Amino acid sequence: MSPVSVLLVDDQPEGLLALEATLAPLGLQLVTARSGREALRHLLSQDFAAILLDVVMPGMDGFETASLIRERERSRHTPLLFLTALSRGQLPELRAYAVGAVDYLLKPYEPEILRSKVSVFADLYRKTELVKRQAEVLRETERREHEGELAEAQRRVDAERARAREELLRREMETHRNQQRWLEAVLAALPTPLALVEPGTGHTLLANRAAQGLAGGGLAYREAQSLLEGLVVRGTEGQVLSTDEQPLMRAARGEALQGFHVDWEWGGQQGSVRAFSTWLPRMHGRPETVLLALLDVAAPSATVQLVEGLRQLTPVHPGREGVEGPLPVRQDERARDASTPEPEHPVARKG
């Protein structure tokens, strides 16, 4: 704790010397002023445990100085002890107490009494400052505890939000995986050759079994072109098509194919397909994708292929385990099929 300061105000040097000698045993920091104005300047930058103020001074006397001291918020409650050589009278004392004095002493004063009075005010100042510091420490401690509680609460909220986001993301990813597995299962079961292609690159993301078996997979995989020795793909005019001219890469470049016809030969086999493509937008967390369908025109019609695919997807009826057979056909449909002539096969027309 810094030393306690006391302000001594007297226009007479010998008066200041006497006060310093009297109060020296108390170990206080004694600050002197030769006028009321000088005393006020000290009060601008320093707090004091008590102010010993001479009444009779030239210019600004002790009462005027005390009034100005009491007007300042910082020194409004600083104890004032008036010292005067005037004979005791009711009027000066009343005026001193009216401006906030706590005591009024006549010169010559008793040194022991003056030290005792000043010592009391010095102890009171120390205890007041100690209480202020303790209160400040308590406020700081409470502030830190409050900030710590707020930080802990915010941490719990952030952790809960993070867990909720992770759980939501996990569920979304699981949903997307289930949707993808379902889509893959559906595509794999369909008899029509289908492939999901990455736009631009032509990289095949998924090809069902029918697409993998068509021309050794050479029409559904860009990479298969260099692996299948002897694979030839021709256009409608019989010209050999490069990889970039074939349906897969044309669809990957954004071209909407509507029955683009190609013929293929490989390993002693040959066939014809019509290619269809459509652009699938971003959905369910999946990027934009191209759907390529390769209709084998040398195979049964698309309707027959679809019926065959439905037969593969149809579960066994309860109570009929091991029973297999074609899908039931209504009588009117059987009659209509019998009366409708079978269309000429595209391959037969080519012959």
Evaluate whether residue 207 is within a structural domain. yes
Evaluate whether residue 12 is within a structural domain. yes
* Same-domain pairing of 203 and 305: yes
* Same-domain pairing of 230 and 308: yes
96, 131, 166 — which closes off a domain? 131
Cis amide leading into 92 (omega within 30): no
Evaluate whether residue 79 is within a structural domain. yes
> Where residue 118 sits, what CATH number does that domain have?
3.40.50.2300
Evaluate whether residue 142 is within a structural domain. no
Q: How far apart are CA 191 and CA 80, in angstroms?
A: 108
Evaluate whether residue 223 is within a structural domain. yes
Evaluate whether residue 242 is within a structural domain. yes
* Same-domain pairing of 235 and 120: no
Evaluate whether residue 336 is within a structural domain. no
Evaluate whether residue 294 is within a structural domain. yes
Range of the domain at 265: 190-313+345-350
Q: How far apart are CA 205 and CA 138, in angstroms?
A: 67
Q: How many domains does the chain have?
A: 2
* Nearest alpha carbon to residue 55 among 92, 27, 24: 92
pLDDT (tens place) for every residue of the chain, 351 residues total = 678 999 999 999 999 999 999 999 999 999 999 999 999 999 998 999 999 999 888 888 888 999 999 988 888 889 999 988 765 555 567 788 788 788 888 888 899 999 999 999 999 999 988 998 899 899 998 998 888 888 899 999 999 999 999 999 898 888 878 877 887 788 788 888 999 999 999 999 889 999 998 998 999 998 887 788 889 999 999 999 999 999 999 999 999 999 999 999 998 899 999 999 999 888 766 789 999 999 988 755 544 454 454 455 444 444 433 333 333 444 444 444 444 444 443 333 333
* Same-domain pairing of 124 and 11: yes
* Same-domain pairing of 109 and 199: no
214 DSSP assignment: G
* Same-domain pairing of 217 and 284: yes
* Same-domain pairing of 126 and 195: no
* Same-domain pairing of 55 and 122: yes
- Residue 172 is predicted with a pLDDT of 82
* Same-domain pairing of 203 and 306: yes
* Same-domain pairing of 125 and 208: no
85, 100, 131 — which closes off a domain? 131
Q: What are 237-241's contacts with CB under 8 Å, separation 24+? A: 238/263
> Where residue 211 sits, what CATH number does that domain have?
3.30.450
Q: How far apart are CA 77 and CA 342, in angstroms?
A: 117
* Same-domain pairing of 198 and 308: yes
* Same-domain pairing of 120 and 218: no
Q: Report the predicted TM-score, pTM, of the whole model to 2 decimal places.
A: 0.44
